[in-house]
């Protein structure tokens, strides 16, 4: 199999998307991406991210590939965990406290920074609506984050998220309580849960 065909196979195995990092780990030179773009067999959608022409662009996956330290958070994480029916107008990502956000913000991302251990708390692997692998905060961390003073999330969205969470079979109330203590939103979490459970 030619290297170009190997690149296309990798793309097909990953919901039509291939990144330069995937090629690097497969031991294939990046020049094949340019060759395939020039031939019209791949399209470049973001720095280091390419898709097959017949595939819908997965913005979430593209952002994750571009900003590897970014973790989907707040309303974007609510969306990924089916805790809201609203598709975010702009995606929210959280980065380490010393991360330069200028490039991220220029891409239209709602970017915030967090100190350790809060940055690494509750990271899970989830799927984009297109089926690509993403990194986000888990449901419990997300619920605590949206209750924090400067989250900017509307009260109606928060109430809906807690209602949907209460119906989930995979909810983890002890974890939610533990995170609420760490993030200093215990009272707010208790208020929402008392109404629902």
Sheet with 110-114, strands from edge to edge, namely: 110-114, 92-96, 71-72, 133-137, 123-127
CA end-to-end span of the chain: 57
The DSSP secondary structure of 146-178, one letter per residue, reads: HHSTT----HHHHHHHHHHHHH-TT--HHHHHH
Q: What is the C-alpha separation between 10 and 23, in angstroms, rounded?
A: 8
Q: What is the C-alpha separation between 49 and 11, in angstroms, rounded?
A: 10
Q: Where are the alpha helices (DSSP H) in 29-131?
A: 31-38, 59-66, 74-80, 102-106
pLDDT digits (tens, 9 = 90+) for 40-95: 999 998 888 899 998 887 899 999 989 999 999 999 999 999 999 999 999 999 99
Residue 17 contacts residue 11 (beta carbons within 8 Å)? yes
pLDDT digits (tens, 9 = 90+) for 139-160: 999 999 999 977 788 989 999 9
Domain boundaries in the chain? 3-57, 61-196
Residue 37 contacts residue 30 (beta carbons within 8 Å)? no
Q: pLDDT tier at 193 (50, 70, 90 boundaries)?
A: confident
Q: Is the pLDDT of residue 197 over 70?
A: no
Q: Map residue 123 onto helix, strand or coil.
A: strand
pLDDT digits (tens, 9 = 90+) for 96-114: 999 999 999 999 999 999 9
pLDDT digits (tens, 9 = 90+) for 119-145: 999 999 999 998 889 999 999 999 999
Residue 171 token pair: 């909810």
Q: What is the C-alpha separation between 97 and 101, in angstroms, rounded?
A: 10
pLDDT digits (tens, 9 = 90+) for 65-78: 899 999 999 999 99
What is the CATH code of the structural domain delimited by 3-57?
1.10.10.10
Q: Is the pLDDT of residue 176 over 70?
A: yes
Q: pLDDT tier at 14 (50, 70, 90 boundaries)?
A: confident
- pLDDT value for 52: 92
């Amino acid at each position: 199999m030619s290297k170009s065909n190997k690149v296309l196979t990798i793309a097909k195995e990953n919901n039509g998307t291939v990144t330069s990092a995937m090629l690097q780990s497969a031991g294939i030179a990046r020049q094949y991406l340019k060759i395939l773009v020039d031939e019209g067999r791949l399209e470049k959608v973001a720095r280091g991210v390419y898709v097959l022409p017949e595939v819908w662009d997965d913005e979430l996956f593209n952002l994750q590939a571009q900003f590897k330290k970014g973790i989907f958070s707040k309303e974007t994480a609510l969306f990924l965990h089916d805790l809201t029916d609203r598709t975010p107008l702009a995606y929210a990502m959280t980065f380490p406290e010393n991360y330069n956000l200028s490039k991220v913000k220029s891409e239209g991302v709602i970017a915030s920074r967090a100190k350790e251990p809060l940055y690494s708390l509750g990271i899970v692997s989830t799927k984009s609506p297109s089926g690509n692998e993403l990194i986000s905060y888990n449901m419990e961390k997300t619920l605590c984050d949206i209750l924090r003073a400067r989250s900017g999330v509307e009260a109606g969205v928060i109430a809906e998220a807690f209602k949907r969470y209460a119906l989930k079979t995979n909810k983890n109330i002890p974890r939610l309580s533990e995170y609420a203590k760490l993030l200093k939103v215990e009272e707010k979490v208790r208020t929402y849960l008392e109404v629902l459970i």
